[in-house]
Amino acid sequence: MARIHAHRKGKSHSIRPMQVNAPWVNMSREEIVNLIVNMAKDGLKPSEIGLRLKDEYGVPLVRKVIDRSITEVLEEHGIKTLPEDLSNMLEKAIRLQKHLNVHRSDSNNIRSLELIEAKIHRLAKYYKREGKIPQDWRYKTVIASLE
């Protein structure tokens, strides 16, 4: 499958192990859930929580151990956040806007900000349809003020 805004193909990914359970995990499900909730309250994103669980606690895949994903656990405990891909795109757009406020004639990055904002609008439309963000959530476009 090709990329949307680039003229290259996607990268292949590694294959996860076939083993269903992880026999080396010495923690109970409740301990893992408590760790996930505490890390989220400290401000970590779900992917950062998964990396920390893997690196520090030896939990390879949370879904295999507790039968729920990290985001499902956070939703059960009332910790609502924006979907991570949308929040990453928003952070990227903010960084690019700060850059363009200093370097106003950087036309390549003006174009890349347009592409990023198009991705944000597509993601927002999808997440509104799926009910993961409120229907009145809006992203204000900054492109018009930069040109």
- Regarding whether 100 and 55 lie in a shared domain, the answer is no
Which range, of 60-64, 78-82, 116-120, 143-147, averages the lowest pLDDT? Answer: 143-147
Reply yes or no on whether the pLDDT at 128 is more than 90: yes
DSSP 6: S
Is residue 124 exposed (0-12), middle (13-18) or buried (19+ Cβ within 10 Å)? buried
Reply yes or no on whether the pLDDT at 110 is more than 70: yes
**Residue 3 resides in a domain:** no
- Regarding whether 66 and 46 lie in a shared domain, the answer is yes
- Regarding whether 33 and 59 lie in a shared domain, the answer is yes
Tell which of 16, 43, 76 closes a domain: 76
CA within 13 Å, CB half, 138: 4
For residue 5, name the pLDDT band (cuts at 50, 70, 90): confident
**Residue 12 resides in a domain:** no
- Regarding whether 98 and 57 lie in a shared domain, the answer is no
Q: What is the mean pLDDT of residues 2-22?
A: 73
**Model confidence, pTM:** 0.77
Identify the CATH number of the domain in which residue 97 sits. 1.10.287.10
**Residue 36 resides in a domain:** yes
Tell which of 60, 76, 92 closes a domain: 76
Closest CA to 115 of 92, 99, 134: 92
For residue 127, name the pLDDT band (cuts at 50, 70, 90): very high
- Regarding whether 49 and 70 lie in a shared domain, the answer is yes
**Residue 67 resides in a domain:** yes
- Mean pLDDT, the chain, rounded, equals 87
- Per residue in 55-102, pLDDT tens? 999 888 888 888 899 999 999 999 988 899 999 999 999 999 999 999
Q: How many CB atoms lie within 10 A of CB 40?
A: 20
Higher pLDDT, 21 or 6: 6
- Regarding whether 131 and 90 lie in a shared domain, the answer is yes
- Regarding whether 89 and 130 lie in a shared domain, the answer is yes
- Per residue in 20-39, pLDDT tens? 666 678 888 999 999 999 99
> What pLDDT does residue 147 have?
46
**Residue 50 resides in a domain:** yes
- Regarding whether 115 and 70 lie in a shared domain, the answer is no
Q: Which domain holds residue 134?
A: 84-146
> What pLDDT does residue 17 have?
65
**Residue 18 resides in a domain:** no
